Amino acid sequence: MPFYSLKDFESFGDVAAEDDAVLEYFLSTKAVSRIEKREAFLVLGRKGTGKTAIVRYLTESKKSKLSKSLNLRGYPWKVHASRIDHGASDIEAYVSSWRYLIAVELAIMVASYNKDSPTNDTKLLSKFLTDNYGGNSPELSDILRPTKLKIEKFSLQPSIMGNQLGSVSLDREGAKDHKFGLELNALSKSIFDAVAKISTELRLGPLSLHFDELDQGLSEIESSRSKMLIGLILAARDIKREGNREFGAINPVVYLRTDLWDDLQFSDKNKISQSQTLHLGWNPESLLELIEARLRVKLKKKASWNNISEPALMRGSQSKWNHILARTFLRPRDVIQFLNIALKESKKRKVEPVVFSNKDIVNSRDEYSLYLKQELDDEIRPHWSYWDEALQTCSALSTIVFDRKSFEREYARRRTAANMLGSEKALSMLYRFSVIGYEKRSGYGGSSWAFQYTDPEAGWDNSANRFKVHLGLKEYAKLRENRG
């Protein structure tokens, strides 16, 4: 294998799809084709597993005007929270407001599709949008903002039991008004009907909306936020089902962090996760493909991992690639981050050709470990802001493998009064985010480490006695290997 020097190779890409040139080397996985075939409307993945990358691929790379990304960063959740439907059950309190929001987004999409030769229905939708939002394409954050929606006579004509609505008030000033949902649903229905007519007339393809970054600005999970998330999921499911037709099939897709989904509780949850949900997952092979795709675009057409790394194995006869992967949660972001640090290390040596040596990999671990801790902060803090106390407990135990008794003892010393989790709950929480794994005994006297991210079927074992901290945290937590 010839070496290809990384001397002029800038980086393996940005760790966030927003800032990464991901479309130049996007890896189209099975998950992507399932979303394209409209087999799922809910896409779940941990942080850094590629949700935004998929959204960008499906909304930017194809020239389709009928696929739009809806980014909830900076979304006015407080405004939305006040658009509550007191006539619906607690869990469905936000379904009508999301239905309306989706209806408006579809109206924007089809109204702009044939701007130049508008049909009658297009004109009606444009008129509605302009009357209420001052233009044809309001921002996502403004859709629920008006206090009152005006509906002109002889236009969309929403009605309830034969009575036409002249307007729908969105701001009910705290009054527990049971008509809110009814009226808003009637308005949404007339918008959906107009969209369906236009779609059929113009023989449109599927209309896709991709909801991303639902976790932004989330420091803790309040109950109204959970209800709004559930409302969006239920609205998306219903609308997809109702809008399943030959032309202009409606395809809303919700991208959600797995940890947020795990905390939601509602009656159809199981059904949804079994049939119409996609879990983003990676393995050593697909991650290698992802990295090599970047090498081929940014370095040399035929470049592979072996062209940029020395063949010598690391301690324990481990390959460099496996050594790196063992420190990740098998997420693209972790791998890209590790390699960017290793690249810096490699260049520092000023030896040509610039390729990865074992030492570069070892020297990258400190900085990488800090990165991993910070990613975990983002994930765990909204659920448990005191998780540091548990990690500090692991540090105090000083070895990577520890037993339950020692953890209980040290945790009790460090746990502050405001930290609600006792040691048993703390351990299960650490397991949930794969900070630790537990020792699983097998029938033949052997044992293995069960981590949530590699072995999700194993489940948490409340009676486990021995635990192991994830290798990626070894440096941050200043842990050493156990002897023997």
Ligand X SMILES: Nc1ncnc2c1ncn2[C@@H]1O[C@H](COP(=O)(O)OP(=O)(O)OP(=O)(O)O)[C@@H](O)[C@H]1O
Binding site for ligand X (CB under 6 A): 13-17, 20, 22, 25-27, 29, 45, 47-53, 257, 290, 332-333, 336
Report the residue number, 71 or 306, with the smaller CB distance to Mg ion: 71
Does position 122 interact with Mg ion (CB under 5 A)? The reply is no
H or E segment at 103?
A: helix 95-113
Stretch that binds Mg ion, among 48-56, 69-77, 127-135, 448-456 (CB under 5 A): 48-56
By beta-carbon distance, which residue lies closest to ligand X? Answer: 50
Does position 188 interact with Mg ion (CB under 5 A)? The reply is no
DSSP structural state of residue 5: -
Half-sphere exposure of 392 (CA within 13 A, CB side): 11
Identified binder of Mg ion from the candidate list 15, 27, 52, 333, rule CB under 5 A: 52
Report the residue number, 54 or 471, with the smaller CB distance to Mg ion: 54
**Minimal distance in Å, beta carbon 146 to ligand X?**
30
**Minimal distance in Å, beta carbon 440 to ligand X?**
29
Half-sphere exposure of 470 (CA within 13 A, CB side): 28
**Minimal distance in Å, beta carbon 105 to ligand X?**
21
**Minimal distance in Å, beta carbon 25 to ligand X?**
6
Please give the backbone phi and psi of residue 175, each rounded to the nearest 5 degrees, phi first.
Answer: -70, 140
Report the residue number, 29 or 159, with the smaller CB distance to ligand X: 29
Report the residue number, 45 or 382, with the smaller CB distance to ligand X: 45
The interface partner of residue 20, options being Mg ion, ligand X, none and the CB cut-off 5 to 8 Å by kind, is ligand X
The interface partner of residue 181, options being Mg ion, ligand X, none and the CB cut-off 5 to 8 Å by kind, is none
Q: How far is CA 301 from CA 1, 241, 291, 307, 310, in A?
A: 15, 44, 13, 12, 19
* CA gap 258, 433 in Å, rounded: 10
Report the residue number, 31 or 125, with the smaller CB distance to ligand X: 31
H or E segment at 344?
A: helix 332-348
* CA gap 316, 324 in Å, rounded: 14
Q: Contact at 8 Å (CB) between 248 and 110? A: yes
**Minimal distance in Å, beta carbon 70 to Mg ion?**
13
Residue with tokens 């969209």: 195
Report the residue number, 102 or 256, with the smaller CB distance to ligand X: 256
Q: How far is CA 160 from CA 44, 153, 190, 195, in A?
A: 37, 15, 11, 20
**Minimal distance in Å, beta carbon 219 to Mg ion?**
17
DSSP structural state of residue 88: S
The interface partner of residue 248, options being ligand X, Mg ion, none and the CB cut-off 5 to 8 Å by kind, is none
By beta-carbon distance, which residue lies closest to Mg ion? Answer: 52
Question: Prior bond to 118 cis, omega within 30?
Answer: no
Q: Contact at 8 Å (CB) between 292 and 12? A: no
H or E segment at 160?
A: strand 159-160
Stretch that binds Mg ion, among 52-60, 106-114, 176-184, 284-292 (CB under 5 A): 52-60
How many chain residues bind Mg ion (CB under 5 A)?
2
Half-sphere exposure of 477 (CA within 13 A, CB side): 29
Beta strands 466-469 and 436-441 are antiparallel
**Minimal distance in Å, beta carbon 216 to Mg ion?**
9
**Minimal distance in Å, beta carbon 258 to ligand X?**
9
Does position 434 interact with Mg ion (CB under 5 A)? The reply is no
* CA gap 303, 291 in Å, rounded: 10
Interaction site with Mg ion (CB under 5 A): 51-52
